[in-house]
């Protein structure tokens, strides 16, 4: 063998030194957000967008840093749960795979599970992870990358779970990533909530990842509860991930009405031409839901013209206006009471709500009296569900009779569901384009119901009736009873027992 020359020896030594440095850097935990962004760019070849374009949004990098750094924070939070609401093609699944790799490499004994809305969805995240591992991260593995699971020499492991309660139950892990939750079975998601456990060095985290397709879907419910539970929501749309626009004429671009110059500031990867193609293919409602993350697709919603910006305003009890109550009875399903006034212009003002399950009529009656502004003498009429006159087999009396005995007079009128729905629609937006409905922010459940009350996803055999889901239909029923009785109060029934 020919001896190496001095220059060749030096060159070989430099290469070995560089390789050693490169390998050492791969094993070095990123200490800052900038370090993490560079680490992912250098070792995975992914330049994660880190610009917040829309004021109320986040960048994808902001979530990755939260997910990674929470376990190394000086003050550890109680949990590291998070919600990712992002657009189609927004890199959600790939970003979750990056987070999974980082957890397993830099957090010893970290057990991660991937749960997708479908087997295909979960497999896609794992495929991203497997691709990363085979591109220079083999030294961290404790064995081959198997179908659906792999393990690491530091004790960490990843496994794909199937979309079933049986698969989820019994898991005791640190990180659970739920991809495309909008497609989940509710029983599976309920079971998944009990799977995570913190250890001395790792904080338990359940990451919810999805586009929000429907205003009455699982993702909508999760996001609406996030503030109450203190769970951070990381939201981005196509403007946070679109490529920078450099050479297009804005006045001739079909994206301009939505863009308004946002793409000029962007620094993402999503091709502008692909966005234009998607826009041309989609309905406006679908485009706003899937790509702009403005609001879910309203095509199946009963009150699609309801807009919180218009119909939700701070309104209080006005002693100069008549006061009404409207009731929907329930025990397992909620009992609902709305307090309503109508001003001189015919605007219906819903000023407060009371919604409670698993309480008896006497409990509700006391609460209604307590919460009615000005006392019972201020109430012009209380309208209710006609079914309340039916005698209960157990108590031998009816809800109407019980309320009457407690000093709460109720009136009712039989009507078809669609009659009441149409009256509410007219109040939301009449034929002349005017709104005659205002709801106080205090009525959180009614506002949610106005946005989520929907027709069955499968309309076969359902006719034109909205879907009775046991959640959103009850506040709407109470509102219906007000409209059908108020409009024809002379025909409302008031009986003494």
pLDDT digits (tens, 9 = 90+) for 181-204: 998 999 999 999 999 999 989 999
Which CATH fold would you assign to the domain 308-454+464-491? Nucleotidyltransferase; domain 5 (3.30.420)
CA distance 434 to 341: 18
Three-state DSSP class for residue 198: coil
Angle formed by the axes of helices 444-452 and 473-487, nearest 10° = 90
Residue 225 per-residue DSSP state: H
Question: Of all helices (H) and strands (E), which one includes residue 207?
Answer: strand 205-210
CA distance 149 to 164: 17
Long-range Cβ contact pairs of 334-340 (< 8 A, separation 24 or more): 334/474, 335/359, 335/364, 336/474, 336/475, 336/477, 336/478, 337/364, 337/368, 337/478, 338/443, 338/446, 338/475, 338/478, 338/479, 338/482, 339/371, 339/372, 339/373, 340/482
pLDDT digits (tens, 9 = 90+) for 353-375: 999 999 999 999 999 999 999 99
CA distance 386 to 421: 16
19-239: CATH architecture: 3-Layer(aba) Sandwich (3.40)
CA distance 385 to 404: 14
Predicted TM-score (pTM) of this structure: 0.78
Domains of the chain, residue spans: 19-239, 308-454+464-491
pLDDT in tens, the chain (497 residues): 344 465 555 566 666 777 788 889 999 999 999 999 999 999 999 999 999 999 999 999 999 999 999 999 988 887 899 999 999 999 999 999 999 999 999 999 999 999 998 878 889 999 999 999 999 999 999 999 999 999 999 999 999 999 888 889 888 899 999 999 998 999 999 999 999 999 989 999 999 999 998 888 899 889 988 988 899 999 999 999 999 999 899 999 999 999 999 999 999 999 999 999 999 999 888 899 999 998 787 878 999 899 999 999 999 999 999 999 999 999 899 999 999 999 999 999 999 999 999 999 999 999 999 999 999 999 999 999 998 888 775 566 888 999 999 999 899 999 999 999 999 999 999 888 899 999 999 999 999 999 999 998 765 555 678 999 888 999 999 999 999 999 765 444 444 33
Looking from the CA of 332 toward its CB, the CA atoms found within 13 Å total 1
- Residue 106 in contact with residue 74, Cβ under 8 Å? no
Q: What is the pLDDT at residue 496? A: 39
CA distance 259 to 433: 28
Question: Of all helices (H) and strands (E), which one includes residue 190?
Answer: helix 186-192
């Amino acid at each position: 063998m020919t001896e190496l020359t001095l220059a060749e020896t030096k060159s070989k030594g430099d290469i070995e030194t560089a390789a050693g440095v490169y390998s050492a850097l791969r094993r070095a935990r990123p200490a800052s957000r900038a370090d993490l962004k560079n680490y992912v760019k250098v070792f995975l070849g992914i330049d994660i967008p880190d610009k917040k374009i829309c004021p109320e949004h986040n960048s994808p990098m902001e979530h990755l840093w939260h997910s990674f750094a929470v376990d190394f924070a000086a003050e550890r939070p109680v949990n590291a749960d998070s919600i990712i609401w992002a657009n189609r093609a927004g890199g959600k699944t790939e970003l979750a795979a990056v987070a999974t790799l980082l957890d397993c490499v830099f957090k010893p004994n970290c057990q991660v599970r991937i749960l997708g809305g479908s087997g295909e969805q979960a497999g896609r995240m794992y495929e991203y992870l497997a691709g990363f591992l085979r591109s220079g991260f083999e030294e961290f593995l404790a064995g081959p990358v198997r179908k659906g699971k792999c393990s690491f020499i530091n004790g960490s492991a990843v496994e794909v779970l199937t979309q079933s309660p049986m698969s989820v139950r019994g898991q005791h892990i640190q990180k659970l990533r739920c991809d495309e939750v909008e497609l989940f079975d509710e029983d599976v998601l309920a079971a998944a909530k009990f799977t995570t456990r913190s250890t001395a060095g790792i904080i338990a985290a359940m990451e919810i990842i999805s586009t929000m397709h429907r205003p009455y879907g699982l993702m909508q419910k999760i996001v609406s509860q996030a503030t109450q539970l203190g769970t951070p929501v990381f939201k981005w749309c196509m403007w946070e991930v679109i490529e920078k626009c450099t050479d297009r004429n804005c006045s001739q671009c079909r994206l301009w009405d939505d863009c308004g110059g946002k793409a000029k500031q962007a620094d993402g990867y999503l091709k502008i031409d692909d966005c234009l193609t998607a826009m041309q293919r989609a309905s406006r409602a679908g485009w706003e839901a899937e790509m702009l993350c403005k609001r879910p697709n309203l095509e199946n919603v009963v009150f699609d013209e309801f807009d919180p910006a218009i119909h939700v305003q701070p309104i209080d009890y006005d002693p100069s206006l008549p006061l009404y109550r409207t009731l929907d009875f329930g025990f397992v399903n909620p009992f609902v009471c709305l307090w309503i006034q109508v001003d001189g212009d015919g605007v219906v003002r819903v000023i407060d709500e009371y919604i409670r399950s698993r309480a008896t009529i006497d409990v509700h009656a006391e609460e209604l009296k307590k919460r009615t502004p000005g006392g019972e003498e201020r109430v012009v009429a209380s309208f209710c569900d006609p079914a309340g006159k039916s005698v209960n087999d157990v108590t031998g009396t009816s809800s109407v009779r019980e309320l009457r005995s407690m000093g709460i007079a109720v009136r009712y009128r039989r009507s078809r569901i669609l009659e009441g729905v149409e009256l509410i629609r007219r109040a939301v937006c009449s034929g002349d384009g005017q709104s005659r409905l205002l709801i106080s922010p205090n009525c959180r459940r009614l506002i949610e119901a106005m946005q989520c009350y929907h027709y069955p996803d499968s309309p076969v055999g359902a006719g034109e009736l909205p879907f009775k889901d046991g959640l959103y239909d009850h506040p709407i029923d109470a509102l219906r009873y007000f409209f059908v009785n108020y409009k024809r109060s002379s025909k409302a029934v008031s009986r003494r027992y």
